[in-house]
Structure formats: structure tokens, C-alpha cells
Amino acid sequence: MTENPFGGAGGFDMNALLEQAQQMQATLAQAQQQLADTVVEGKVAGGAVTVRVTGVGDLVGVDITPGTVEGTDAESLADLSDLIVAAYRDAKSQADELAAQALGPLAGGGLPSPGQLGF
């Protein structure tokens, strides 16, 4: 993004604009891949339930400490479900923050709007 896509004397350099778009696309793809490869953990109840999600929010694992719930009735299984959901929300929040940090600079930069191009 070092060249002026509008040319030196008010002209429009389409090649420079396309080059900038390709660079941004490559940078975005790299950031998305890094997020997909990153795993964060969400924990609740002192680590009794831990879930792992990728930086893009895909659930990849759940760990439950034995004895966390009795598991012999509907109410205790509902409690376990609530713990898993809470742990997922914790992990997803962390993944969203990572995504905002990784993609934030790319989201704001963008290509010029048609108004900025002079037509």
C-alpha cells in the first residue's frame, strides 16, 4: 500500500489499486488462518468445565472434571449443560477479542469508496 492508486497528477492507476486489493486479501487470509489455528479455553466453576474453541469460534473440545455433577437425574444434567454453555461463552468471548485484534486493522483500511475515486 505504498503507491497512490490515484496516480501522480490526479490520474487513476487501476494496477496500483488492484495490487493493494491483492495485498489486503493475502493479509486477511493469513490473519484468518492464524485465527483458525489458535485455540482458546473457557473455564467455569474453578475449571470443573473447560471448553476449547478456535479463534474463529469453532468448538473443538470439552473437558469435565469427574464429580462435577451427579449426572443421575435431569436437573443435574441441566446444571452440566448450563456449565458447558457458560464455559463456551467465556471461550467465545476470548476468541471474538482475538479476532477483533487480528482483523481490526484490516477492517478499517479498506478500499476507497467510489466517491473518493472522483466518480
State the pLDDT at residue 95: 93
Count CB neighbours of 113 within 10 A: 7
Using alpha carbons only, what angle is made at residue 84 by residues 62 and 92, rounded to the nearest 5 degrees? 80
Does the structure show a pLDDT above 60 at 26? yes
More confident residue, 38 or 107: 38
Which tens digit of pLDDT belongs to each residue from 69-112? 888 899 999 999 999 999 999 999 999 999 888 887 666 554 44
CA distance 34 to 102: 9
Does the structure show a pLDDT above 80 at 12? no
3-state secondary structure of 111: coil
Backbone angles phi, psi at 44, to 5 degrees: -140, 165
CATH topology of domain 39-104: Ybab; Chain: A; (3.30.1310)
pTM over 0.95: no
